[in-house]
């Protein structure tokens, strides 16, 4: 078998990835939304918030996060 030159090339160094500002804002908004759903006592969610809060409240207990 013939060895090709490109098979013996040096390893490629990874380049840093530029994350756009809007992506960081989306992440921040998602974290704040999760906080509102899981920790707030339905003050941020009005009527439908009680059901969502209780769902996430039970999920916190399921994964072992103390909340009381």
Read off the tokens for 33: 């939304």
Buried b (16+ CB within 10 A) or exposed e, 37-64: bbeeebeeeeeebeeebeebbeeeeeee
Residue pLDDT, tens place only, 19-55 = 999 999 999 999 888 776 666 655 555 566 677 777 7
- Report CA dihedral (36, 39, 44, 50) to the nearest 10 degrees: 120
**Residue range of the domain that includes 59:** 17-63
Whether residue 10 lies inside any domain: the answer is no
Whether residue 52 lies inside any domain: the answer is yes
> What's this model's pTM, rounded to 2 decimal places?
0.46
- How many domains is the chain built from? 1
């Amino acid at each position: 078998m013939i060895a090709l030159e490109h098979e013996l090339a040096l390893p490629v160094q990874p380049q840093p990835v530029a994350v756009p500002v809007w992506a960081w804002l989306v992440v921040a908004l998602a974290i704040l939304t999760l906080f509102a759903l899981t920790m707030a006592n339905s003050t941020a969610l009005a009527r439908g918030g009680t059901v969502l809060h209780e769902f996430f409240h039970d999920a916190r207990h399921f994964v072992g996060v103390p909340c009381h």
